[in-house]
Structure 1
Amino acid sequence: MIIPEQTRNNLEFDKLLKWLSSYAHSSLAKRIILKLEPFDSLENIQTRNKLISQCITLINEEGKYSFHGLANIIPILKKARIEGTYLSSAELYTVYRQCLLYSSIKQYIKQNKAIVPDLYALVEEIYEPSDFMRSIKATISEHGEIFDIASDKLLKIRKEIKEIAASVTTHLESFISDKNNAQLIQEPLVLDRDGRYVLLIKAEKRKEINGIIHGSSASGAAYYCELLSTVELNNKLKVIKEKEKDVCREILQKFTNSIRGIANELIINQRRSAKLDSLHCLATFAIEQGGCMAHFNNSSVLELEEVFHPLLKYKSSMIRKSAIVALSLKLEEPARGLIITGPNMGGKTVALKNIGLAVLMAHSGIPVIARRVSIPYLKALFADIGEKQDLMQNLSTFSSHVQNIIPMLNYSEEGALFIIDELGTGTDPSEGAPLAVAILEHLLFRRGLIITTTHHNAVKIYAESKEELINASMDFDISTLKPTFKIIPGIAGTSHAFDIATKLGVAETIVEKARSIRDKKDEAYLSVLEKLSEQMRDLEIKKEVWWKEKNQLEQKLRMSIEENSEQKKLLLEERRKLSERVKEFLRKSKSRWEEVVQEMKAALSEKAYSEGKQSIKEIEQEAETVLKVSIYQDEEPGQFGVND
């Protein structure tokens, strides 16, 4: 998918990735998440989606797996590849622990391979160096110490070291316990100074003792003194310790050579484990945030059902504010464009960002926080959202918008989504509106999908005349000056500029003067829109009530399967009465619609009137469908089902 950097920034994709990366256990997976990009083919997206879906299944069945401890060992492996070098015991133990983790990950998936076959295919080839792991476990402690039994030679040397050290220590302790030496001793301790056993002698007494000075204490009050009587033993100890180092070096070199031979396999192990951690991270995100994997259809249908903007949801959870509102929309043939209208502060820009980010997440193999997402595979995504005035480059808002739209106009292939905020804004409306219409014409000709917002009535009227475009309004509560964030398709919205100005404190005389100046045709048109919007809102409320009652009745019917037939008859009668109530509402609504239609006919052209009337019929049909429920007899006697 082609996505310009400006579009990526508009949609705040990198902020989303930063939040997502917090779900990863390892730094390796965090880096993978932070580098996520939209895939270049549908096949790659579907492969990723399948893996995440199986990971969700696995977590739901077995619980989360901890990838804590997964570390980057590539620097260690690179060091091991250099001839003549050897790894430290701590480095070897780090590799050992990673090998244990790789094996554990493989076993975790293997135990559940029946339900996650694709995940198992990912880890099936993880290499398990069993011999190496057994040898390291028997040779090196978790603190990086080499065990005495690592070799017979080392065991013999360390036994000799202990014997010599014991002899020196015994001699020095005897010196300390002699009362005649009490005035010489600063502290009654045997100390190790650069591999030689010494005593801490008072500074003023250093010339009274036969020994070699190996430096002074930090305060200068005492000196480290090696007694002449212990020099020979210390020399012997020094020599034997060098032999110990040589033997340990041989052991470390042997293990380093072993790692050198399997370095490539271990690198692959690390990459696969990190990838699994990143998949686990995305699956956890989906489970905790209510996400779903997008379905990619073979048509141009763009359907988003109850989509939440992830960053708003994250912010809402952090500051513990009230729940945010989900967005739903459906764009299907012959329509390929949605013209969203409504007031400033009405949620239009948030809606555009929500739609754009959902599409980008879907194409990047990221779960979308939604009930359902069905979209076409898109080759490109362009978004011009928000205020773009650039003082540094001396660009006005209009110029900046035009510069951002030019790449959209130059894109010549089908299969792109164009998102434009405030199309035609920032200049004289008499020129901005025609330019907006021309841009829409061009993008439709390019067979692209379009989501745009506007305040221009000319654009709204143009959309009514094109079957490829659908007007939609952002629902707005004028009494509170707050958006509801719900998109109402099929009808254009109004800017509510006068109402908002009044609510915010602009003098009524000024607002009334503005109303009187407004073009009469615009006033009639907006009056019709407001009434249609009110009717549509009323219908939406009724529809929600009907659906609720319908679902309650269906639940009662299911519970009554084992009850007597008389009870069933009562429930069916109750259902019939509900249907009658719906029909009566529709009959009353029809006369109200006709009044609005007459006003619309007077305000609009004959063509727009006809299309508006057809839209009303479709709304009525939809309302009737909502409550149209048929009862059917199942094959099994006495069983009833509900079909809507």
Structure 2
Amino acid sequence: MLYPLNSADKLGFTEIKELIKAHCLSVMGQQMVDKIQVMSNYDLIAKFLNQAHEFKNILQNDDALPINHFYDIKTLANKARIEGAFLSEEEFFQVLTSLTTVFAVIAYFNERKDVYPNLEALFEHLPIEKAIIKKIDMVIDPKGKIRHNASRELMEITTGIAKAEQEARKKIDQIFKAASASNWTADGSLTVRDGRLCIPLLAENKRKIKGFIHDESASGQTVYLEPEEVFTLNNRIRDLEFDRRREIIKILTALTDELRPYVPLLLSYHGLLTKLDFVRAKALFAIEIEAEMPKVVNEGRFTFYNARHPLLYLNFKKEQKTVVPLNVSIDDSTRIIVVSGPNAGGKSVCMKTVGLLQMMVQAGLLIPASADSVAGVFKQLFVDIGDDQSIESDLSTYSAHLSKMKYFVEGANGKTLILIDEFGTGTDPQFGGPIAEAVLEALNHKKVRGMVTTHYSNLKIFASNTEGIENASMLFNNTAMQPLYMLEVGKPGSSYAFEIAQKIGLPQNVLNLARNKVSAGQKRVDSLLVDLEREKKEIFDTKQKLDKQQRHVNLLLKENEELKSFLDENRKNLMREAKQEAKNIILNANKLVENTIAEIKSSNADKEVTKTLRDNLTAEVKKNTIKTEAPKPAAKTDEEIKAGDWVKLIDGDTTGQVMEIIKDNVVIAMGELRTVVKRKRVEKVSRAEVPKEIRRSNIGQTNDVASFSPEIDVRGMRTEDALFAIEKLFDRALMMGFGTLKILHGKGDGILRKMIRQYLKKYEQVDRMEDEHADRGGAGITYVYLK
């Protein structure tokens, strides 16, 4: 139930219906849109929402539904119901094309059984009677004209007409040629007058050919004559045409008689087409305003996330602006929200958004809000917006408000949603404030749900001290003196009256005089609200900065742990291999010594054999002796180093692979770690000098670089998650030396794009940011160029 009756107009619901009607293909669909109304039946609401949601899914993700023809077959069926009446060729063609659409739609859903259950219910148990199509198709051709062979008599008549026309044409051509040869004709060719083919003759020659004059030129020099022989043939054609018309009526009457038993079924088909057109229009409008289906509960509560006013969204879309989304919740603990804040700060728009979205949900329409939003069902919706003063009813503005308040207090209950704009205004604030407070207390006592806007301080204080009522404010940038159009629940807002007056340019002496007239207590309250808002913004900015720093610290800690683990593993591998090699050397040495002694003994210490064995032993000892090399000179700075080469730090034993050379800096990969050092601090080494473990570990990171993509898609992500993902990509791109990033964020309202760009501007490594080309995504993609 809506009160007052013009609530739909005031909240913009009537305009929404007009926009939906623009998407209808038929007058029947438009008439159904006109009947849309706010419902309180939970099952009906859920059914209509699911139908619109499923159709939207078809339009966006499935093959096109074969609905090309929508005609008012209800009117045609009612005409066919009357005995003796018959449908025309065009009307039968409309029935034929409409039924073709119906059967194609039913076949479409049969192929997708149980995929769209709510749409399937529209034609559940509806029989497919293709006999109707066959009967009509035998008489009407694909162009909507009656077939020449619809009956044997019609075919004979049609053939007779064709022969007579051919004979008449042949005869008049002969006469025309003969008259032309005799120079009796005027300039021109055969022409039609009064539906008859005539010869243009010079007026002085009109007696030279027998026939009938049908017309003459304006000058009287030319007459248009139908020869006597042709006149007889044309009369015969005319008679045949009358016979043909009578035969067509006979055929159409017989076909209508055959169609008459199917009239109830035709009416059912008409109902299906009408509903399909209606649901399709709702789905197309939902796509236009980027609407989603919220979760619906049979309770008096709602929670809207990223909600936008649909009409404001469409207007801003034309101007390429974005609507600031609204997050608001009303439930058992927070029943009434008292919204305060500056003038032109968006209080009324906020409240109208809530009211309009709730009306749309209860009318079975999808809403421009996140899919995780929750919408309830209210039995009553009471609205007090605008000035309803009436000269006829002798009602002043305030009297009209009081009349509504009386109705609200008497008729509202826990299933009522109230919306009151500028609560208490219209009379002396000294008395209007207390009356408004009393009304608010009475409504709260009845557990009413709703939202009110006000500038009255006593209502703000009452809300802060009363259970079930919550203050909220529209945020305001008091530095730039501009509204932010963001709702913040939990504290009242200042009206910023003096600040706005100062920005507009009111003389300072007038402002000072006004300040002196405000009570000290009121000054303190307003100043406190302004200070609280400023401090909260500073805390919010500081929190964001700390969160960013913490994420950076966490990333560094993770990389440090990975590096430490990598170094520990390498050290263990080296120690293990060194021990194994030493063990092998000792075993080989023992065997060599034992074999040498045995051979000396077996040769009876022969000098030549002994000398040879000693030389072999000495050579083996030299082979396993570690040579002490002289310190290598510093690497030459002119030695060429390129990407892919292996290098070693001069002042350490760290080895890595060159990923990129930037001026006199070298980007080195050591396992998963990237570092940048000066060119003069490294020297080139051969691949053979690099331990196998280090080469193996760098294979992974080389593949990582090869597979790294400087692109990221954050569409559909929350702002905080998107920024965190972009920060990780940004850090990796810097470490790997990439110069460009590509961020896909979508167009939408432009909020995510704006937040991303503001966030990246803080990095000094960012050179500039640009939109993608308009043909390849435009403002939905941001290119980030790094220095």
Instruction: Classify the secondary structure of the residue corresponding to 2:6.
Output: helix
1:604-628 deviation digits (Å, cap 9, x = unpaired): xxxxxxxxxxxxxxxxxxxxxxxxx
Q: Provide the residue aligned with 1:87 in structure 2.
A: 87
Instruction: Classify the secondary structure of the residue corresponding to 1:241.
Output: helix
Q: Provide the residue aligned with 2:46 in structure 1.
A: 46
Q: Provide the residue aligned with 1:383 in structure 2.
A: 383
Structure 2 residue 278 is matched with structure 1 residue 291 = no
Over 3 Å counting, the alpha-carbon distance change for 1:373 and 1:162 in structure 2 is same
Report the Cα offset of residue 553 of structure 1. 10
Q: Provide the residue aligned with 2:419 in structure 1.
A: 419
Q: Provide the residue aligned with 2:433 in structure 1.
A: 433
Matches within 5 A, 1:208-287: 208-216=208-216, 222-287=222-287
Report the Cα offset of residue 396 of structure 1. 3.6
Instruction: Classify the secondary structure of the residue corresponding to 1:432.
Output: helix
Q: Provide the residue aligned with 2:330 in structure 1.
A: 331
Over 3 Å counting, the alpha-carbon distance change for 1:202 and 1:480 in structure 2 is farther
Over 3 Å counting, the alpha-carbon distance change for 1:412 and 1:382 in structure 2 is closer
Over 3 Å counting, the alpha-carbon distance change for 1:530 and 1:96 in structure 2 is same
Distance 2:219 2:275 in 1: 55
Contact in 1 for aligned 2:138/2:150 (Cα 8 Å): yes
Give the aligned residue type for 1:334.
Answer: S
Report the Cα offset of residue 418 of structure 1. 0.7
Q: Provide the residue aligned with 2:488 in structure 1.
A: 488
Distance 1:80 1:487 in 2: 60
Report the Cα offset of residue 47 of structure 1. 1.0
Q: Provide the residue aligned with 1:356 in structure 2.
A: 355
Q: Looking at CA atoms only, which structure, 1 or 2, has the larger radius of gyration?
A: 2
Instruction: Classify the secondary structure of the residue corresponding to 1:144.
Output: coil
Contact in 2 for aligned 1:109/1:123 (Cα 8 Å): no
Give the aligned residue type for 1:165.
Answer: E
Distance 2:344 2:494 in 1: 12
309-318 or 536-545: bigger deviation:
536-545
1:320-353 deviation digits (Å, cap 9, x = unpaired): 2x21101111223222111111111111111111
Q: Provide the residue aligned with 1:536 in structure 2.
A: 536
List alignment gaps of at least 5 residues for structure 1.
Answer: 567-644
Give the aligned residue type for 1:243.
Answer: D
Contact in 1 for aligned 2:77/2:263 (Cα 8 Å): yes
Over 3 Å counting, the alpha-carbon distance change for 1:107 and 1:565 in structure 2 is farther
Over 3 Å counting, the alpha-carbon distance change for 1:96 and 1:10 in structure 2 is same
Report the Cα offset of residue 276 of structure 1. 1.7
Contact in 2 for aligned 1:337/1:469 (Cα 8 Å): yes
Contact in 1 for aligned 2:338/2:470 (Cα 8 Å): yes
Instruction: Classify the secondary structure of the residue corresponding to 1:419.
Output: strand
122-131 or 149-158: bigger deviation:
122-131
Q: Provide the residue aligned with 1:618 in structure 2.
A: none
Over 3 Å counting, the alpha-carbon distance change for 1:30 and 1:454 in structure 2 is same
Distance 1:496 1:332 in 2: 30
Give the aligned residue type for 1:482.
Answer: Q
Q: Provide the residue aligned with 1:454 in structure 2.
A: 454
Distance 2:72 2:558 in 1: 57
Q: CA RMSD in A?
A: 3.2
Distance 1:444 1:19 in 2: 36
1:429-480 deviation digits (Å, cap 9, x = unpaired): 1101110111101212222112101111111111111111101111012334
Q: Provide the residue aligned with 1:120 in structure 2.
A: 120
328-337 or 118-127: bigger deviation:
118-127
Q: Provide the residue aligned with 2:404 in structure 1.
A: 404
Aligned length: 564
96-105 or 238-247: bigger deviation:
238-247
Instruction: Classify the secondary structure of the residue corresponding to 1:212.
Output: strand
Give the aligned residue type for 2:359.
Answer: L
Instruction: Classify the secondary structure of the residue corresponding to 1:447.
Output: coil
Report the Cα offset of residue 258 of structure 1. 2.7
Distance 2:334 2:434 in 1: 21
Distance 1:484 1:217 in 2: 78
Contact in 2 for aligned 1:424/1:436 (Cα 8 Å): yes
Distance 1:47 1:168 in 2: 67
Distance 2:406 2:522 in 1: 31
1:338-389 deviation digits (Å, cap 9, x = unpaired): 1111111111111111111111111111111011431331011111123445
Q: Provide the residue aligned with 1:474 in structure 2.
A: 474
Contact in 2 for aligned 1:106/1:124 (Cα 8 Å): no
1:235-292 deviation digits (Å, cap 9, x = unpaired): 4333333222222222211222233322332222122122122222222333443312
Report the Cα offset of residue 165 of structure 1. 2.3
Contact in 1 for aligned 2:418/2:448 (Cα 8 Å): yes
Report the Cα offset of residue 221 of structure 1. 5.4
Alignment identity in percent? 26
Distance 1:554 1:449 in 2: 45
Q: Provide the residue aligned with 2:319 in structure 1.
A: 319
Q: Provide the residue aligned with 2:145 in structure 1.
A: 145
Structure 2 residue 355 is matched with structure 1 residue 374 = no
Distance 2:301 2:74 in 1: 46
Q: Provide the residue aligned with 2:629 in structure 1.
A: none
Report the Cα offset of residue 530 of structure 1. 2.5
Q: Using CA pairs below 8 Å that are at least 6 residues apart, which structure has the higher relative contact order?
A: 1
Report the Cα offset of residue 195 of structure 1. 6.4
Contact in 2 for aligned 1:2/1:381 (Cα 8 Å): yes
Contact in 1 for aligned 2:433/2:456 (Cα 8 Å): yes
Report the Cα offset of residue 507 of structure 1. 1.7
Give the aligned residue type for 2:83.
Answer: E
Instruction: Classify the secondary structure of the residue corresponding to 1:292.
Output: coil
Report the Cα offset of residue 557 of structure 1. 12
Over 3 Å counting, the alpha-carbon distance change for 1:125 and 1:134 in structure 2 is same
Q: Provide the residue aligned with 1:606 in structure 2.
A: none
1:297-320 deviation digits (Å, cap 9, x = unpaired): 355433111100000011011222
Contact in 2 for aligned 1:337/1:468 (Cα 8 Å): yes
Structure 2 residue 75 is matched with structure 1 residue 75 = yes
TM-score (norm: length of structure 1): 0.80
Distance 1:315 1:74 in 2: 38
Q: Provide the residue aligned with 2:166 in structure 1.
A: 166
Distance 1:555 1:265 in 2: 69
1:128-164 deviation digits (Å, cap 9, x = unpaired): 4423323433432344332222222222222222222
Instruction: Classify the secondary structure of the residue corresponding to 1:503.
Output: helix
Contact in 2 for aligned 1:80/1:260 (Cα 8 Å): yes
Matches within 5 A, 1:485-634: 485-541=485-541
Report the Cα offset of residue 93 of structure 1. 1.3
Give the structure with the higher percent helix. Answer: 1
Report the Cα offset of residue 44 of structure 1. 0.6
Distance 1:416 1:553 in 2: 51
Contact in 1 for aligned 2:66/2:104 (Cα 8 Å): no
Distance 2:546 2:302 in 1: 27
Report the Cα offset of residue 194 of structure 1. 6.0
Over 3 Å counting, the alpha-carbon distance change for 1:200 and 1:545 in structure 2 is farther
Distance 1:76 1:141 in 2: 19
Give the aligned residue type for 1:411.
Answer: G
324-333 or 172-181: bigger deviation:
172-181
Over 3 Å counting, the alpha-carbon distance change for 1:151 and 1:72 in structure 2 is same
Over 3 Å counting, the alpha-carbon distance change for 1:336 and 1:186 in structure 2 is same
Distance 2:534 2:452 in 1: 23
Q: Provide the residue aligned with 1:597 in structure 2.
A: none
Distance 1:15 1:301 in 2: 25
Over 3 Å counting, the alpha-carbon distance change for 1:283 and 1:237 in structure 2 is closer
Instruction: Classify the secondary structure of the residue corresponding to 2:408.
Output: helix
Instruction: Classify the secondary structure of the residue corresponding to 2:149.
Output: helix
119-128 or 311-320: bigger deviation:
119-128
Distance 1:395 1:381 in 2: 23
Contact in 2 for aligned 1:24/1:277 (Cα 8 Å): yes
Q: Provide the residue aligned with 2:344 in structure 1.
A: 345
1:557-577 deviation digits (Å, cap 9, x = unpaired): 9999x99978xxxxxxxxxxx
Structure 2 residue 14 is matched with structure 1 residue 14 = yes
